[in-house]
A and B are shown apart, each in its own frame.
Chain A
Amino acid sequence: MLSKEQVARYSRQLILPEIGVAGQETLLRASVLIIGAGGLGSPAALYLAAAGVGTIGLVDPETVVLSNLHRQILHATESLGRPKALSAKARLVALNPGVTVRAHQERLTAANAAERLQGYDVVLDGSDNFPTRYLVNDACVRSGTPLVHGGVVHLRGQVLTVLPGRSACVRCVFPEPPEVGAVPSCQEAGVLGSAAGILGSLMAHEALKLLLGLGEPLTDRLVVFEGDRSRFREVPVRRDSGCAVCGDVPSLRAWTERTEGCQEASAVRSQHVADL
């Protein structure tokens, strides 16, 4: 049963035959965890809160800095210095007070990942470094939680939806993360906010489709957005039966350790950024 306020708030999506009252009630009962309240997490969280996803979890250890604001539209000038998770929560609740926001001002680690993911229907990966991305993938596969993976840098980005054990996971497509410096970050190469907006919104769109059982998910298809041409391309990808994480004989523990090692190595080698 929807309240009068909810009927009014969600009226424009209620009238979609794909959603209706039943779909809206599904969304109000659903929960999505977003890793990273930054470039991708910002538009994703805004659209999920706007659509009435009942519970939104946010995991982000950082505070808002000025260089975030050209793309991280969840935050504002007045929130400089505030923890991103809390800044995000305030903004989302202002947009839609009916949404419960669980803000975790912390980094996702191998130690807390399983607990953090618990109880969520879908996870969105908007993190900003490779070790976390692989950790999110591995934790989602291990827990059987659908994952929408997205990345953006410069003017381009990629999105892939993972249904663990059924479709390609991130490691099926990119078995190992690059060594530090091999692929540039936004800090090094730059990024246009609108590109992050496009990919982040697409991630929220995918999450809503998954929650509603609507249409076809972006599974086994890596969507590549080339922002200079504003062109979307799609490359088919496949689940690898030999994948270390979701394959027939997973060596999951080994990968988790390797991810940790990657984090240590990153700290040691961070001063050596390859000249591209």
Chain B
Amino acid sequence: MPVTVRIPTPLQRLTNGQDEVTCDGKTVAELLGDLEQRYPGIKERICDPQGKLRRFVNVFVNEEDIRFLQGDQTGVKDGDEVSIIPAIAGGSGVAK
């Protein structure tokens, strides 16, 4: 079932510049797996080596934070919109 996934700016290089892609999956976990299949290398930007969501990234399904739903087991269905939103610092990026 095709789900729309909004890709944050830092990851768009891995999705050929697209800010929105379509993926398949019945849960967020499956979706991320499908995303990785289509755009290799993207999942490690979102998840740690154990597969858990990195703590400076949030995933929302239809504007609901999955941490308050069923985490990466949160179900997704046709027509849902999933957003990946990372923290932003701007500037130099390095504390001097």
Contacts and interface: CB of A to CB of B under 8 A. Distances in A.
B49 to A, nearest CB: 13
B19 A222 contact: no
A132 B90 contact: no
A237 B58 CA distance: 10
Contacts of B95: 129-132, 262-263, 266-267
Given A176-B55, A236-B63, A276-B10, A128 B91 contact: yes
A228 interface: yes
Contacts of A237: 58, 65
B45 interface: yes
Interface residues of A, number: 56
A165 interface: no
B2 interface: no
A34 interface: no
Contacts, number: 133
B52 to A, nearest CB: 12
A156 interface: yes
Interface in A191-232: 191, 196, 222, 224, 226, 228
Given A236-B63, A236-B65, A182 B91 contact: no
A235 B94 contact: no
Interface stretch (A15-23, A98-106, A138-146, A147-155): A147-155
Interface string A175-193: 1111011111111110100
Contacts of B83: 233, 235
Interface in B75-89: 83, 85-89
A183 B86 CA distance: 8
A173 B90 contact: no
B58 A189 contact: no
A266 B95 CA distance: 7
Contact of B10 (A130, A152, A184, A222): A184
Contacts of B56: 130, 174-178, 182-183
Given A173-B58, A228-B19, A152 B90 contact: yes
A183 B88 contact: yes
A133 interface: yes
B90 A174 contact: no
B94 A154 contact: no
A157 B13 CA distance: 18
A38 interface: yes
Given A235-B65, A238-B65, A270 B94 contact: yes
A188 B88 contact: no
A164 interface: no
A157 B86 contact: no
- Nearest 10 A-B pairs (CB), nearest first? A128-B91, A185-B93, A151-B88, A176-B55, A174-B87, A178-B56, A175-B55, A131-B95, A154-B9, A263-B95
9 contacts: A127-B91, A128-B89, A128-B92, A129-B94, A184-B10, A187-B91, A191-B90, A236-B65, A276-B14
Given A128-B89, A174-B87, A236-B63, 7 more contacts: A129-B94, A132-B95, A151-B87, A173-B58, A183-B87, A191-B90, A196-B90
Interface of A: 36, 38-40, 61, 107, 127-133, 151-158, 170, 173-178, 180-189, 191, 196, 222, 224, 226, 228, 233-238, 262-263, 266-267, 270, 276
